[in-house]
Amino acid sequence: MPTYEYECAKCKYKFEKMQPITAAPLTRCPKCQGRVQRIISGGAGFIMKGAARGAAEKSGGDCGLQRTGKTCCGRDERCGKPACGDGE
Ligand SMILES: [Zn+2]
């Protein structure tokens, strides 16, 4: 069972959670109930620093692309990563 690392976009609390690969990613910080983002680790160099700043909170949990024209990463087009919360 892989261990996933999460970071809260609100209070910056980092934690790890062991989950089955089929489990849905966590979305809520255990400390402040803010939105958490799964950190993709493993040498891919794919950590999105501060990507979810502000935008994720406004979209209220899922990708805001369709509503606001911006993804949670602040991009204009879908980034295609599960971190956006789009689809699931
Ligand atoms: Zn938090």
For 5-15, what is the mean pLDDT? Answer: 96
Cα-to-centroid distance, 54 and ligand 1 (Å): 14
The band of 76, judged by pLDDT with boundaries at 50, 70 and 90, is confident
* 63 within domain boundaries: yes
What mean pLDDT, rounded, does the chain reach?
A: 75
How far is ligand 1, taken at its centre, from the CA of residue 12, in Å? 6
- The CA 14 to ligand 1 mean position distance, Å, reads 8
Place 14 in a pLDDT band, splitting at 50, 70 and 90.
Answer: very high
* Tens-place pLDDT, residues 17-69: 999 989 999 999 999 999 999 987 654 444 455 555 555 555 445 556 777 77
40 and 53 part of one domain: no
The pTM of the full predicted model, rounded to 2 decimals, is 0.46
Residues 40-51: pLDDT tens digits?
765 444 445 555
Q: How far apart are CA 81 and CA 74, in angstroms?
A: 13
Distance from Cα 67 to the centre of ligand 1, integer Å? 25
Residue 2's pLDDT band, with cuts at 50, 70 and 90, is: confident
Do 59 and 30 belong to one domain?
Answer: no
Give distance in angstroms: CA of 7 to centre of ligand 1. 8
Residue 88 lies in a domain: no
CA of 57 to the centre of ligand 1 (A): 12
| Same domain, residue pair 58 and 32 | no
C-alpha dihedral, 32 to 84 to 5 to 31, nearest 10°? 0
Query: Could you tell me the two tokens for 49?
Result: 């620093």
Joined tokens for residue 54: 């502000």
